[in-house]
């Protein structure tokens, strides 16, 4: 008998209402279970995060902020949002204000820009070709379309940031905002130096810490607080939360710096951030996602989480060493964080070819340009590799050494089906030993 008998479709499970979609969801569950996820921006959330995001909070509209909503009936979602706010500020000492509503990292960045800048204002950020992010000024992104963009990059010899050169460029360009942060830069960022560079020319420092937020929370990477004026992050990646964003800011800029920003003449920076999120770039917040953010931020304050982040960094270094020992070239020579940028051309392939080859043996990476790349981005000379997801599954340095070998074996033996079958079989065995936390078996 159908479970909908007498109650209608409102009470039916997804598998019955939409079996075609359910089959795709089931397929994704199997993909996550049986493939090694090495994309640096991906991770597996806690079971409690999944539970929170799947609750009936999704039914509630709550435009505005806690205690200042445009709808009635918000007394319980106010609790959820206040918990997320309190936990975010506690997790990052030195942070003064936070808005937990952004639907994504890109929208968090948009809100940060619009809180202080006008269209056409000048910004300077890390070049996308050198490890920056689309929202840091790429011409195909809103940031490149709305603002006058100048970029800085890594040094040709070391492939790391030369802060003296960043300072020289900033003094020449004189941007109104200096943007820091990256999506494919494996080295530690000096936020204190960047703040000095920005403030010395009367500019605000905006830090996008999306990739390293978990490391910052665990004390494994220098914090952008209290150096930066604006800080954004996603809540997934190393934070192991739901897909969404946060915007942190000072309560207000120092008077001499604030005088350079007409938009703040009659308001504080924190108020400008809140208005930039809503009604500036978003409507109603996603209360079920905010609840899941609150759970993730709560768990990120635990000793277990800090140990998970310590292992993430250790695993990244071991995986980088394994790849280097087998003939791949590590951009900048290695990693200080959870990710590495690997030049695969010494192995005889492009980034696109390496990504496709590894996917065939159930290892998931993404092709990525390397600094001064001679190939176009859709081909690329490198792959970006990260340790968060495999660390979350419980793997350690021994598995990282093994996985590094499997990656090179698959690439070097790509013309031999027997090599591919052997690598795929070993990957399957590893995945069987380390189940994905929170992923139901069936």
- Sequence-distant (6+) residues with CB within 8 A of 382 are 331, 341, 342, 343, 344, 351, 367, 368, 369, 370, 373
**Pick from 386, 369, 355: which is nearest to 133 by CA?**
369
Residue among 33, 60, 193, 243 flagged as catalytic: 243
Is position 208 annotated as part of the catalytic site?
yes
For tokens 């605000």, the residue is 204
| Torsion over CA: 280, 194, 142, 41 (sign) | negative
Residue among 35, 87, 176, 237 flagged as catalytic: 237
Strand locations in 66-113, DSSP E?
Answer: 68-69, 97-99
Is position 61 annotated as part of the catalytic site?
yes
Is position 234 annotated as part of the catalytic site?
yes
CA dist., res. 23 & res. 127, Å (int): 40
CA dist., res. 36 & res. 361, Å (int): 9
3-state helix, strand, coil in the chain (%, to 5): 50, 15, 40
Q: Write the DSSP assignment of 197-212 as a string of letters.
A: HHHHTT-EEEEE-TTT
Q: Is 139 exposed, middle or buried (0-12, 13-18, 19+ CB in 10 A)?
A: exposed
Residue among 81, 159, 167, 208 flagged as catalytic: 208
- Sequence-distant (6+) residues with CB within 8 A of 41 are 183, 210, 211, 236, 237, 386
CA dist., res. 351 & res. 375, Å (int): 9
Residue among 60, 61, 162, 422 flagged as catalytic: 61
| Torsion over CA: 75, 76, 81, 84 (sign) | positive
Angle at which helix 351-360 crosses helix 397-412, to 10 degrees, equals 110
Which positions are annotated as active-site residues? 61, 63, 208, 234, 237, 243
């Amino acid at each position: 008998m159908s479970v909908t008998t007498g109650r209608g479709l409102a009470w039916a499970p997804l598998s019955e209402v939409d079996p075609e979609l359910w089959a795709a969801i089931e397929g994704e569950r199997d993909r996550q279970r049986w493939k090694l996820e090495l994309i640096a921006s991906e991770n597996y959330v806690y079971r409690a995060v999944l539970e929170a995001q799947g609750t009936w909070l999704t039914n509630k509209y709550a435009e505005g902020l806690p205690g200042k909503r445009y709808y009635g009936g918000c007394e319980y979602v106010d609790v959820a949002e206040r918990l997320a706010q309190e936990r975010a500020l506690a997790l990052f000492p030195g942070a003064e204000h936070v808005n937990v509503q952004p639907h994504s990292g890109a929208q968090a960045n948009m809100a940060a820009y619009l809180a202080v800048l006008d269209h056409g204002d000048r910004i300077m950020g890390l070049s996308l070709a050198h490890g920056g992010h689309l929202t840091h000024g790429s011409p195909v992104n809103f940031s490149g379309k709305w603002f006058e963009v100048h970029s800085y990059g890594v040094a040709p010899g070391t492939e790391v940031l030369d802060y003296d050169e960043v300072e020289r460029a900033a003094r020449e360009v004189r941007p109104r905002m200096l943007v820091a942060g990256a999506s494919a830069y494996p080295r530690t960022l000096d936020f204190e130096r960047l703040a000095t560079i920005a403030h010395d020319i009367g500019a605000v420092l905006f830090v996008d810490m999306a990739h390293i937020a978990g490391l910052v929370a665990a004390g494994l990477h220098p914090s952008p607080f209290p150096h930066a004026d604006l800080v954004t992050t996603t809540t997934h990646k190393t934070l192991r939360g739901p897909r969404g964003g946060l915007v942190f800011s000072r309560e207000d800029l120092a008077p001499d710096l604030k005088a350079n920003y007409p938009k703040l003449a009659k308001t504080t920076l924190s108020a400008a951030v809140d208005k930039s999120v809503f009604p500036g770039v978003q409507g109603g917040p996603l209360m079920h996602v905010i609840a899941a953010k609150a759970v993730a931020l709560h768990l990120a304050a635990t000793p277990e989480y800090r140990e998970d982040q310590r292992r993430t960094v250790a695993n990244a270094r071991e995986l980088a060493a394994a790849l280097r020992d087998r003939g791949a070239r590590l951009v900048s020579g290695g990693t200080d964080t959870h990710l590495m940028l690997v030049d695969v051309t010494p192995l005889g392939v492009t980034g696109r070819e390496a990504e496709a080859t590894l996917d065939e043996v159930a290892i998931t990476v993404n092709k990525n340009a390397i600094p001064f790349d001679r190939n176009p981005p859709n081909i690329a000379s490198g792959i970006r590799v990260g340790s968060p997801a495999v660390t979350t599954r419980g793997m350690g340095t021994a598995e990282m050494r093994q996985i590094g070998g499997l990656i090179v074996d698959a690439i070097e033996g790509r013309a031999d089906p027997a090599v591919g079958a052997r690598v795929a079989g070993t990957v399957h065995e590893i995945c069987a030993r380390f189940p994905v936390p929170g992923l139901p078996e069936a």
